[in-house]
Every structure is written in C-alpha cells, then in structure tokens.
A and B are shown apart, each in its own frame.
Chain A
Amino acid sequence: MASTSQKSTSLPGRTALHGKAMTMHPNPNSGKPGLVFCELAHLGKLNMRADKSAGKMVKSITGCMFPPAANTFTSAGERHAVWLGPDEFMIICEAGKDEELASSIQASFGNRHAAVTNITDALAAFHLKGAAVRQVLAKGCALDLHHSSFTSGDAAQTLLSHAAVTIMALADDEFIVICRTSFASYLHDWLLDAALEYGVKFNK
C-alpha cells in the first residue's frame, strides 16, 4: 500500500505542531505502544475543483487516478488524490513540491472550468500507526472504522472529537488525519489522551 514518508523535512517555516515535544506513554499491558503518531510537516495539499473530465490531466501530472467513488482516495507513490465532493478533491504531494505541482496543474487547465488552490499551510496532517489506531479514532468519530468497513483506500471527511477532519486509511493499522492548522494542537493533545490506555508515542 502507498505510504507517506515520515522523515521530517528541513523546509523553513514553523508547522502546526512546532512547539510539541516528543512524548511517550508506555503500553500498560507491555509491548509496543498501540499508537505511534507524528506530524507530516509541510505535506503538500492542493484543493481542486473539477469534474471527472479532468481525470486524464490529473493522472498525467500527479500520477494519481481520479478518485473512482465517493469516500475513497487513489495513490501513486507519495501522492494521493482524495475525494471531497462530487466535483472536488484534494491532491496530497511531497513536502516542498506543492507550489510546483499547483502551477503545472494550473497551466494545463486551458479552457477547462476548474480551479486549483494551494491549501498546504491551511491544513495540518498527522500520520498514525499502531495496533490500536482504529480503537483510538473510534473514540471520537461516529464512522464505522472496523477494518471490514473502512478499508485501505477509503477516506472520509467527518468529525473527530468535534474537530473537522479528513481521515484516510493507508493500511489496516496506518492512517492519515488532516485537520485545520488551528485544530492541530488540540487533536495532538486529544490523541495523546485517547490513546493512553493503549500506550502512545508522539514523534517529532
């Protein structure tokens, strides 16, 4: 399954979780912590308004197929195209590549009725991994997150403990959660608290 690199980037500028220190609460039942999470600093995010007719163009520039159905995403390496609405989706790309990608998409529009907006710094992204990741998310989310129902390649915009988020399942035990930058600190604190009973580690 596609992955998104956890390596922190050396791009300039503070990120949403700039001031948060590495945190570790051991698993009370011994063994590995049930949740290990980190911020995907500067992860590129583009909002795109276009319908299916833009599919070929999106594929040729980003490598990602147009999301085939509601509540899904497609991947090509570290890039993803996430369904957000009937004529709206989000392109996720490597840190630092967002501006270049946005301008090449913009250039290929021609007369197409479409728009691309760089929302990299408006949103913050978390990478979550661990055996208890679904249980932790389920504490604040009304969606059915059972692995038979929310499988890898599924995405949803929903509320996570009252904060508006986009949840993407990369694998059975691996998720990306994207929220507004101003909610990042709150979600970080909430995740640490919600995962306490499983053991949790926050990596810088």
Chain B
Amino acid sequence: MMLIDCPFCGPRDETEFSCGGEAHIARPLAENKISEAEFADYLFMRDNPKGLFLERWRHSAGCRRWFNMARDTVSHEIVEIYPMGALPKTAAAKSAYSASWRRDTAAEHAAKPARTTVKNAGKARGAK
C-alpha cells in the first residue's frame, strides 16, 4: 500500500488512484511518414522495468487530475511527483527518462513538430 502525495489534494491512499501506465509517450504527428513497425512502437510497446519507472497516475476518486510519478517498481519508493507535460527533475528520474529505449525511436522523433521558420509556417497556412 502506497501513500501518494496528490499534487492537488495532498497525501492520499493508493486505492484512490489509478495508474495510467508508462509516461512520456508522445503521439507521432499525422503529417509525418513513419513505417507501420515504427508506429507500432508508439502504439503497442510498453516498458515494464524492474526499478525506477516513470508513470502517469490519476487521482480517480479525488480531484480526477492526472500527474506523473517516478516510482521504483521493486521497493515502491516514490522518487518524484511532477505535473503532466513536464519532465522529471531529480537525477535518478532524469536518467531513467534519458535511458529509455523510446528516446531513440522514429515514433518519438516524429512526435516533435518539425522546425519551421516563420516564413514557411505562413506558406503552410496559405497552402490551405
């Protein structure tokens, strides 16, 4: 049983929360062309490490808000709780983030918007 410190409600029982699985999986952008196998990396492949894991959690019986949590799957130690959309700040969680196989996938690269100059962005709008 874990006592999870909801960033909005404060410390609550684990039973009030639901785990949303691996965090930091960004959807490849529609305009990008990646192979089906590479898209499958995004869609199906999930990590299940023994040790520190970055997860999404939701305070489903409380404020119903999502947040990220760096949790050790062996000891249940909660290393860090940080907001959705943010990256972890502690050294251990940071290295778990950068060590993930996902950082090198084509799907993750395709999730980042291509850098467009202001000029090109204008053109893209005009083309529509």
Chain A residues within CB distance 8 Å of chain B: 70-71, 84-86, 88, 142-143, 156-159, 164
Contacts and interface: CB of A to CB of B under 8 A. Distances in A.
Given A70-B9, A84-B63, 15 more contacts: A70-B10, A71-B10, A85-B63, A86-B65, A88-B63, A142-B13, A143-B12, A156-B9, A157-B61, A158-B12, A158-B61, A159-B13, A159-B16, A159-B61, A164-B61
Given A70-B8, A71-B9, A86-B8, A159 B15 contact: yes
A168 B16 CA distance: 18
A19 to B, nearest CB: 27
Interface in B4-23: 8-10, 12-13, 15-16
A85 B15 contact: no
Interface in B58-104: 61-65
A158 B11 CA distance: 12
Contacts of A71: 9-10
Given A70-B10, A71-B9, A159-B15, A85 B64 contact: yes
A89 B9 CA distance: 13
Contacts of B10: 70-71
Nearest to B65: A85
A70 B8 CA distance: 7
A88 B64 CA distance: 10
Interface string B44-63: 00000000000000000111
A158 B10 CA distance: 12
B103 to A, nearest CB: 31
Nearest to A159: B61
B15 A157 contact: no
A197 to B, nearest CB: 24
A190 B9 CA distance: 26
Contacts of B63: 70, 84-86, 88, 157
